[in-house]
Protein backbone atom coordinates (compact mmCIF):
# COMPACT_ATOMS: atom_id res chain seq x y z
CA UNK A 1 0.00 0.00 0.00
CA UNK A 2 1.65 3.21 -1.22
CA UNK A 3 0.95 6.68 0.14
CA UNK A 4 0.29 9.84 -1.94
CA UNK A 5 3.44 11.78 -2.82
CA UNK A 6 3.86 15.43 -1.88
CA UNK A 7 6.46 18.19 -2.41
CA UNK A 8 9.13 18.94 0.21
CA UNK A 9 8.62 15.72 2.16
CA UNK A 10 9.97 12.22 1.64
CA UNK A 11 6.88 10.04 1.82
CA UNK A 12 8.95 6.93 1.10
CA UNK A 13 10.32 7.13 4.64
CA UNK A 14 6.80 7.04 6.04
CA UNK A 15 5.97 4.14 3.74
CA UNK A 16 8.48 1.93 5.57
CA UNK A 17 7.93 3.14 9.13
CA UNK A 18 5.89 0.03 10.06
CA UNK A 19 8.21 -2.53 8.48
CA UNK A 20 9.41 -5.26 10.87
CA UNK A 21 7.25 -3.94 13.72
CA UNK A 22 7.48 -6.10 16.86
CA UNK A 23 4.98 -4.26 19.08
CA UNK A 24 1.95 -1.99 18.69
CA UNK A 25 3.41 1.29 19.93
CA UNK A 26 4.22 2.84 16.55
CA UNK A 27 0.72 2.26 15.20
CA UNK A 28 -1.01 3.92 18.11
CA UNK A 29 1.54 6.74 18.35
CA UNK A 30 0.89 7.73 14.75
CA UNK A 31 -2.90 7.37 15.09
CA UNK A 32 -2.79 9.62 18.15
CA UNK A 33 -0.98 12.32 16.16
CA UNK A 34 -3.46 12.12 13.28
CA UNK A 35 -6.51 12.22 15.51
CA UNK A 36 -5.14 15.07 17.61
CA UNK A 37 -4.90 17.17 14.45
CA UNK A 38 -8.43 16.32 13.33
CA UNK A 39 -9.74 17.20 16.78
CA UNK A 40 -8.37 20.71 16.39
CA UNK A 41 -4.83 20.23 17.62
CA UNK A 42 -1.94 22.32 16.35
CA UNK A 43 1.69 21.56 15.60
CA UNK A 44 2.63 21.24 19.30
CA UNK A 45 1.66 17.97 20.99
CA UNK A 46 2.58 16.86 24.50
CA UNK A 47 3.66 13.30 25.15
CA UNK A 48 1.08 12.93 27.96
CA UNK A 49 -1.81 14.03 25.74
CA UNK A 50 -0.81 11.63 23.00
CA UNK A 51 -0.37 8.90 25.60
CA UNK A 52 -3.99 9.21 26.72
CA UNK A 53 -5.18 9.00 23.14
CA UNK A 54 -3.14 5.85 22.68
CA UNK A 55 -4.66 4.30 25.80
CA UNK A 56 -8.17 5.12 24.63
CA UNK A 57 -7.48 3.33 21.34
CA UNK A 58 -5.83 0.20 22.73
CA UNK A 59 -8.28 -0.61 25.55
CA UNK A 60 -10.99 -2.03 23.28
CA UNK A 61 -8.85 -4.51 21.31
CA UNK A 62 -6.97 -5.56 24.45
CA UNK A 63 -9.63 -5.72 27.15
CA UNK A 64 -13.02 -5.79 25.42
CA UNK A 65 -12.03 -8.08 22.55
CA UNK A 66 -9.10 -9.66 24.45
CA UNK A 67 -6.66 -9.68 21.55
CA UNK A 68 -2.98 -10.36 22.02
CA UNK A 69 -0.38 -7.74 21.06
CA UNK A 70 2.47 -10.17 21.64
CA UNK A 71 4.77 -10.87 24.56
CA UNK A 72 6.90 -7.77 24.04
CA UNK A 73 3.97 -5.34 24.16
CA UNK A 74 3.38 -3.40 27.38
CA UNK A 75 -0.07 -1.96 26.67
CA UNK A 76 -1.85 -4.95 28.26
CA UNK A 77 -0.72 -3.87 31.72
CA UNK A 78 -2.11 -0.40 31.10
CA UNK A 79 -5.46 -1.77 29.89
CA UNK A 80 -5.65 -4.10 32.91
CA UNK A 81 -4.91 -1.19 35.25
CA UNK A 82 -7.78 0.85 33.78
CA UNK A 83 -10.21 -2.07 34.08
CA UNK A 84 -9.10 -2.59 37.67
CA UNK A 85 -9.82 1.05 38.55
CA UNK A 86 -13.17 1.55 36.78
CA UNK A 87 -15.95 -0.13 34.84
CA UNK A 88 -15.62 0.98 31.25
CA UNK A 89 -18.87 1.66 29.41
CA UNK A 90 -18.39 -0.09 26.05
CA UNK A 91 -21.89 0.60 24.74
CA UNK A 92 -22.37 2.24 21.37
CA UNK A 93 -23.27 5.70 22.65
CA UNK A 94 -20.88 5.82 25.58
CA UNK A 95 -18.42 8.73 25.91
CA UNK A 96 -14.92 8.31 24.58
CA UNK A 97 -12.73 6.27 26.91
CA UNK A 98 -10.47 9.24 27.57
CA UNK A 99 -13.54 11.18 28.76
CA UNK A 100 -14.67 8.26 30.93
CA UNK A 101 -11.22 8.05 32.52
CA UNK A 102 -11.17 11.75 33.36
CA UNK A 103 -14.73 11.61 34.74
CA UNK A 104 -14.37 8.39 36.74
CA UNK A 105 -10.84 8.46 38.12
CA UNK A 106 -9.03 10.84 40.41
CA UNK A 107 -5.92 12.79 39.59
CA UNK A 108 -3.66 10.16 41.13
CA UNK A 109 -5.09 7.36 38.97
CA UNK A 110 -4.90 9.47 35.81
CA UNK A 111 -1.28 10.32 36.61
CA UNK A 112 -0.59 6.62 37.12
CA UNK A 113 -1.99 5.83 33.67
CA UNK A 114 0.10 8.56 32.06
CA UNK A 115 3.14 7.31 33.94
CA UNK A 116 2.61 3.72 32.77
CA UNK A 117 2.25 4.81 29.15
CA UNK A 118 5.12 7.23 29.63
CA UNK A 119 7.41 4.29 30.26
CA UNK A 120 6.48 2.98 26.81
CA UNK A 121 7.07 6.40 25.28
CA UNK A 122 10.73 6.37 26.26
CA UNK A 123 11.38 4.93 22.84
CA UNK A 124 8.54 5.13 20.32
CA UNK A 125 8.51 8.92 19.57
CA UNK A 126 12.18 8.64 18.62
CA UNK A 127 12.26 5.20 17.01
CA UNK A 128 9.25 6.13 14.88
CA UNK A 129 11.57 8.51 13.01
CA UNK A 130 14.40 6.02 12.58
CA UNK A 131 13.63 5.47 8.84
CA UNK A 132 14.38 9.16 8.28
CA UNK A 133 18.00 8.73 9.42
CA UNK A 134 19.00 5.16 8.63
CA UNK A 135 22.43 6.11 7.27
CA UNK A 136 23.24 8.52 10.10
CA UNK A 137 22.24 6.00 12.80
CA UNK A 138 24.08 3.01 11.38
CA UNK A 139 26.52 1.56 13.90
CA UNK A 140 25.29 3.55 16.91
CA UNK A 141 24.74 1.85 20.25
CA UNK A 142 21.06 1.42 21.05
CA UNK A 143 21.40 3.65 24.11
CA UNK A 144 22.65 6.50 21.91
CA UNK A 145 19.89 6.39 19.28
CA UNK A 146 17.32 8.61 21.04
CA UNK A 147 19.78 11.41 21.55
CA UNK A 148 21.08 11.16 18.00
CA UNK A 149 17.55 11.29 16.56
CA UNK A 150 16.72 14.34 18.69
CA UNK A 151 19.79 16.16 17.38
CA UNK A 152 19.17 15.14 13.75
CA UNK A 153 15.53 16.27 13.95
CA UNK A 154 16.53 19.70 15.19
CA UNK A 155 19.16 20.03 12.46
CA UNK A 156 16.84 19.03 9.61
CA UNK A 157 13.55 20.46 10.81
CA UNK A 158 13.57 23.67 8.72
CA UNK A 159 15.16 22.45 5.50
CA UNK A 160 13.21 23.64 2.47
CA UNK A 161 13.89 20.76 0.09
CA UNK A 162 13.49 17.96 2.65
CA UNK A 163 11.85 18.07 6.07
CA UNK A 164 11.73 15.73 9.01
CA UNK A 165 8.30 14.96 10.48
CA UNK A 166 8.76 16.60 13.89
CA UNK A 167 11.32 17.77 16.39
CA UNK A 168 11.46 17.62 20.19
CA UNK A 169 11.20 20.22 22.91
CA UNK A 170 11.34 18.29 26.15
CA UNK A 171 8.29 16.00 26.25
CA UNK A 172 6.59 17.85 23.41
CA UNK A 173 6.84 17.27 19.68
CA UNK A 174 6.63 20.11 17.16
CA UNK A 175 5.21 19.01 13.81
CA UNK A 176 6.85 20.33 10.67
CA UNK A 177 4.39 22.49 8.72
CA UNK A 178 4.81 20.47 5.50
CA UNK A 179 4.00 17.22 7.27
CA UNK A 180 1.16 18.79 9.24
CA UNK A 181 -0.55 19.86 6.01
CA UNK A 182 0.07 16.42 4.51
CA UNK A 183 -1.52 14.72 7.54
CA UNK A 184 -4.61 16.92 7.37
CA UNK A 185 -5.00 16.53 3.61
CA UNK A 186 -4.60 12.74 3.59
CA UNK A 187 -5.93 11.92 7.06
CA UNK A 188 -8.27 9.09 6.01
CA UNK A 189 -5.70 7.50 3.70
CA UNK A 190 -3.08 7.61 6.46
CA UNK A 191 -5.45 6.04 8.98
CA UNK A 192 -6.25 3.29 6.49
CA UNK A 193 -2.54 2.79 5.85
CA UNK A 194 -1.89 2.45 9.59
CA UNK A 195 -4.80 0.10 10.24
CA UNK A 196 -3.78 -2.08 7.30
CA UNK A 197 -0.37 -2.58 8.90
CA UNK A 198 -1.92 -2.98 12.36
CA UNK A 199 -4.22 -5.77 11.17
CA UNK A 200 -1.25 -7.58 9.62
CA UNK A 201 0.55 -7.24 12.97
CA UNK A 202 -2.48 -8.57 14.86
CA UNK A 203 -2.88 -11.53 12.52
CA UNK A 204 0.57 -12.73 13.52
CA UNK A 205 -0.34 -12.63 17.21
CA UNK A 206 -3.97 -13.83 16.87
CA UNK A 207 -3.85 -16.37 14.02
CA UNK A 208 -7.12 -18.18 14.90
CA UNK A 209 -9.25 -15.28 16.11
CA UNK A 210 -12.31 -14.37 14.00
CA UNK A 211 -13.21 -10.86 12.87
CA UNK A 212 -9.89 -9.12 13.54
CA UNK A 213 -10.66 -6.13 11.35
CA UNK A 214 -13.74 -5.39 13.50
CA UNK A 215 -11.82 -5.65 16.78
CA UNK A 216 -9.61 -2.59 16.59
CA UNK A 217 -12.42 -0.10 17.18
CA UNK A 218 -15.04 0.57 19.81
CA UNK A 219 -18.32 -1.17 18.78
CA UNK A 220 -20.44 1.26 16.77
CA UNK A 221 -23.68 -0.69 16.87
CA UNK A 222 -23.79 -1.40 13.14
CA UNK A 223 -22.94 -5.08 13.74
CA UNK A 224 -25.38 -5.56 16.63
CA UNK A 225 -28.63 -5.27 14.68
CA UNK A 226 -30.67 -8.33 15.65
CA UNK A 227 -33.95 -7.42 13.94
CA UNK A 228 -33.75 -10.27 11.40
CA UNK A 229 -32.76 -12.80 14.04
CA UNK A 230 -35.53 -11.59 16.36
CA UNK A 231 -38.10 -12.04 13.59
CA UNK A 232 -36.64 -15.48 12.87
CA UNK A 233 -37.05 -16.71 16.44
CA UNK A 234 -40.35 -14.91 17.07
CA UNK A 235 -42.08 -16.78 14.24
CA UNK A 236 -40.77 -20.06 15.64
CA UNK A 237 -41.84 -19.24 19.22
CA UNK A 238 -45.32 -18.25 18.04
CA UNK A 239 -45.80 -21.86 16.91
CA UNK A 240 -44.09 -23.48 19.90
CA UNK A 241 -45.85 -23.71 23.24
CA UNK A 242 -43.17 -25.46 25.29
CA UNK A 243 -39.95 -23.59 24.54
CA UNK A 244 -37.71 -23.13 27.61
CA UNK A 245 -34.55 -21.08 28.21
CA UNK A 246 -31.49 -23.34 27.95
CA UNK A 247 -29.92 -21.70 31.01
CA UNK A 248 -32.80 -21.09 33.44
CA UNK A 249 -35.54 -23.42 32.22
CA UNK A 250 -37.97 -20.49 32.19
CA UNK A 251 -40.85 -20.63 29.73
CA UNK A 252 -40.44 -18.25 26.80
CA UNK A 253 -43.01 -16.57 24.61
CA UNK A 254 -42.84 -14.08 21.76
CA UNK A 255 -43.20 -11.28 24.29
CA UNK A 256 -40.59 -12.08 26.93
CA UNK A 257 -37.33 -12.98 25.20
CA UNK A 258 -34.10 -11.41 24.07
CA UNK A 259 -31.35 -13.00 22.01
CA UNK A 260 -28.16 -14.28 23.59
CA UNK A 261 -24.94 -14.90 21.69
CA UNK A 262 -23.95 -18.37 22.91
CA UNK A 263 -20.33 -17.48 22.15
CA UNK A 264 -20.06 -13.78 23.14
CA UNK A 265 -20.47 -11.20 20.41
CA UNK A 266 -17.24 -9.55 21.54
CA UNK A 267 -15.47 -12.74 20.46
CA UNK A 268 -17.34 -13.74 17.29
CA UNK A 269 -18.38 -10.18 16.17
CA UNK A 270 -21.22 -11.59 14.07
CA UNK A 271 -24.93 -12.34 14.44
CA UNK A 272 -25.15 -15.68 12.63
CA UNK A 273 -28.37 -17.38 13.62
CA UNK A 274 -26.63 -20.61 14.66
CA UNK A 275 -24.93 -18.76 17.54
CA UNK A 276 -28.09 -17.03 18.82
CA UNK A 277 -30.62 -18.40 21.27
CA UNK A 278 -33.73 -16.87 22.94
CA UNK A 279 -33.44 -16.28 26.69
CA UNK A 280 -35.21 -14.02 29.22
CA UNK A 281 -33.84 -10.49 29.26
CA UNK A 282 -32.65 -10.84 32.86
CA UNK A 283 -30.69 -14.00 32.02
CA UNK A 284 -29.12 -12.35 28.98
CA UNK A 285 -28.04 -9.39 31.11
CA UNK A 286 -26.60 -11.73 33.75
CA UNK A 287 -24.63 -13.80 31.23
CA UNK A 288 -23.24 -10.71 29.49
CA UNK A 289 -19.95 -11.57 27.71
CA UNK A 290 -19.24 -14.72 29.69
CA UNK A 291 -18.69 -18.05 28.00
CA UNK A 292 -21.42 -20.51 29.04
CA UNK A 293 -20.51 -23.76 30.69
CA UNK A 294 -20.22 -26.30 27.90
CA UNK A 295 -22.82 -28.48 29.65
CA UNK A 296 -25.43 -26.16 28.11
CA UNK A 297 -24.38 -27.10 24.59
CA UNK A 298 -26.61 -30.23 24.14
CA UNK A 299 -29.75 -28.22 24.96
CA UNK A 300 -28.51 -25.36 22.80
CA UNK A 301 -27.94 -27.74 19.88
CA UNK A 302 -31.35 -29.33 20.37
CA UNK A 303 -33.12 -25.96 20.21
CA UNK A 304 -31.04 -24.92 17.22
CA UNK A 305 -32.05 -28.12 15.43
CA UNK A 306 -35.72 -27.57 16.24
CA UNK A 307 -35.75 -24.08 14.73
CA UNK A 308 -33.76 -25.28 11.71
CA UNK A 309 -36.19 -28.17 11.16
CA UNK A 310 -39.19 -25.85 11.64
CA UNK A 311 -38.20 -23.54 8.79
CA UNK A 312 -36.91 -26.34 6.59
CA UNK A 313 -40.21 -28.21 6.74
CA UNK A 314 -42.07 -25.00 5.90
CA UNK A 315 -39.79 -24.75 2.83
CA UNK A 316 -38.55 -21.36 4.04
CA UNK A 317 -34.90 -21.68 3.18
CA UNK A 318 -33.91 -18.02 2.96
CA UNK A 319 -33.81 -17.59 6.77
CA UNK A 320 -31.57 -20.68 6.97
CA UNK A 321 -28.76 -19.23 4.87
CA UNK A 322 -26.40 -18.98 7.90
CA UNK A 323 -26.91 -22.69 8.57
CA UNK A 324 -26.38 -23.71 4.96
CA UNK A 325 -23.12 -21.76 4.80
CA UNK A 326 -21.57 -23.11 8.01
CA UNK A 327 -23.52 -26.05 9.44
CA UNK A 328 -25.50 -27.89 6.73
CA UNK A 329 -23.75 -27.06 3.43
CA UNK A 330 -25.72 -29.60 1.37
CA UNK A 331 -28.99 -27.79 2.21
CA UNK A 332 -30.70 -31.04 3.18
CA UNK A 333 -32.54 -31.88 6.36
CA UNK A 334 -30.15 -33.92 8.49
CA UNK A 335 -30.77 -35.87 11.67
CA UNK A 336 -30.53 -34.14 15.02
CA UNK A 337 -27.42 -36.17 15.83
CA UNK A 338 -25.66 -35.12 12.64
CA UNK A 339 -26.73 -31.48 13.09
CA UNK A 340 -25.39 -31.50 16.66
CA UNK A 341 -22.07 -32.95 15.55
CA UNK A 342 -21.66 -30.32 12.84
CA UNK A 343 -22.63 -27.49 15.16
CA UNK A 344 -20.16 -28.73 17.76
CA UNK A 345 -17.38 -28.85 15.16
CA UNK A 346 -18.18 -25.22 14.37
CA UNK A 347 -18.42 -23.92 17.94
CA UNK A 348 -16.10 -25.99 20.14
CA UNK A 349 -12.77 -24.89 18.58
CA UNK A 350 -13.88 -21.25 18.84
CA UNK A 351 -15.01 -21.86 22.43
CA UNK A 352 -11.54 -23.14 23.32
CA UNK A 353 -9.86 -20.18 21.61
CA UNK A 354 -12.08 -17.75 23.53
CA UNK A 355 -11.17 -19.48 26.81
CA UNK A 356 -7.48 -19.25 25.96
CA UNK A 357 -7.89 -15.54 25.22
CA UNK A 358 -9.23 -14.94 28.72
CA UNK A 359 -12.97 -14.54 28.20
CA UNK A 360 -14.71 -15.03 31.53
CA UNK A 361 -16.09 -18.53 32.08
CA UNK A 362 -18.05 -20.52 32.89
CA UNK A 363 -21.47 -18.88 33.13
CA UNK A 364 -23.73 -21.12 35.20
CA UNK A 365 -27.24 -19.94 35.99
CA UNK A 366 -28.75 -20.13 39.45
CA UNK A 367 -32.14 -19.03 40.67
CA UNK A 368 -30.80 -15.60 41.63
CA UNK A 369 -29.39 -15.10 38.13
CA UNK A 370 -25.87 -14.69 39.45
CA UNK A 371 -22.61 -16.13 38.28
CA UNK A 372 -21.47 -19.07 40.41
Q: What is the full DSSP assignment across 74-127? A: -HHHHHHHHHHH-----STTPPPHHHHHHHHS-HHHHHHHHHHHHHHTTTHHHH
Residues 137 and 277 in one domain: no
Residue 159 pLDDT greater than 80, yes or no: no
Among 304, 305, 297, which Cα is nearest to 334's? 305
Give the dihedral sign, CA 22/23/24/29. negative
- Burial of 354 (C-beta count, 10 Å sphere; 0-12/13-18/19+): buried
Residue 61 lies in a domain: yes
Residues 198 and 324 in one domain: no
221: left (phi > 0), else alpha (psi -120 to 50), else beta? left
Residue 148 lies in a domain: yes
Residues 205 and 324 in one domain: no
Phi, psi of 166 (to 5 degrees): -155, 165
Residues 172 and 244 in one domain: no
Residue 366 pLDDT greater than 70, yes or no: yes
Q: What is the full DSSP assignment across 118-177? A: HHHTTTHHHHTTGGGGHHHHTT--HHHHHHHHHHHHHHHTT-SSS--SEEEETTEEEE-H
Q: Which residue has the higher pLDDT, 155 or 339?
A: 339
As a whole number, mean pLDDT of residues 95-103 equals 90
Furthest-apart CA pair in the chain: how many Å? 79
- Burial of 233 (C-beta count, 10 Å sphere; 0-12/13-18/19+): buried
Residues 310 and 348 in one domain: yes
The alpha carbon of 352 is separated from its chain's Cα centroid by a whole number of angstroms, namely 19
Residue 362 lies in a domain: no
pLDDT of residue 370: 47
pLDDT in tens, 314-349: 999 999 999 999 999 899 999 999 999 999 999 999
The alpha carbon of 286 is separated from its chain's Cα centroid by a whole number of angstroms, namely 23
Is-contact 339 301, C-beta < 8 A? yes
Distance, in Å, from the CA atom of 77 to the CA atom of 194, rounded to the nearest integer, reads 23
Residue 371 pLDDT greater than 70, yes or no: no
pLDDT of residue 368: 63
Buried b (16+ CB within 10 A) or exposed e, 174-209: bbbebbbebbeebeeebeebbbebbeebbeebbeeb
Is-contact 154 133, C-beta < 8 A? no
pLDDT of residue 337: 97
Domain assignment of residue 235, given as a range: 227-357
> For 338-342, which contacts have Cβ atoms below 8 Å and span 24 or more sequence positions?
339/301, 339/304, 339/305, 339/308, 340/298, 340/301, 340/302, 340/305
pLDDT in tens, 65-90: 999 998 888 898 999 999 999 999 98
Residue 1 lies in a domain: no
Residues 105 and 251 in one domain: no
Distance, in Å, from the CA atom of 99 to the CA atom of 37, rounded to the nearest integer, reads 18
Containing H/E element for 34?
A: helix 25-38
The domain boundary, picked from 172, 187, 214, lies at 214
The domain boundary, picked from 152, 186, 214, lies at 214
Residues 207 and 235 in one domain: no
Residues 238 and 91 in one domain: no
Average of per-residue pLDDT values in the chain:
91
Residue 345 lies in a domain: yes
Residues 62 and 186 in one domain: yes
Residue 40 pLDDT greater than 90, yes or no: no
Among 121, 112, 133, 117, which Cα is nearest to 52's? 117
Residue 74 lies in a domain: yes
pLDDT of residue 255: 87
Distance, in Å, from the CA atom of 257 to the CA atom of 244, rounded to the nearest integer, reads 10
Residues 204 and 233 in one domain: no
The structure's pTM equals 0.85
Residues 181 and 258 in one domain: no
Residue 2 lies in a domain: no
Residue 174 lies in a domain: yes
Name residues whose C-beta falls within 8 Å of residue 338's C-beta, 6 or more positions apart in sequence. Answer: none
Containing H/E element for 258?
A: strand 258-261
As a whole number, mean pLDDT of residues 224-241 equals 91
The domain boundary, picked from 193, 214, 235, lies at 214
pLDDT of residue 372: 39
Residues 151 and 298 in one domain: no
- Number of domains present in the structure of the chain: 2
Amino acid sequence: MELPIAPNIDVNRLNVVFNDTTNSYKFYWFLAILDALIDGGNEQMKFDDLAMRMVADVWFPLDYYRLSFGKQDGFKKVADYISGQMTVDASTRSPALETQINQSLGEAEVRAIKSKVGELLRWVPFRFLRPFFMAELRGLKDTDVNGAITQLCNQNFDQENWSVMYKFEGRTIILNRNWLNYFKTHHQILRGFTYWHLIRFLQKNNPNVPGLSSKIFKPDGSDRNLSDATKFWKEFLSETSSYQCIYSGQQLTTENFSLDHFLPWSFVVHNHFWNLIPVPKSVNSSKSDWLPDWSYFPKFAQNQYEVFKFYYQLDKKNPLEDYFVSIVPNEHLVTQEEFTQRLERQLLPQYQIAKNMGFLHPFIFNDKQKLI
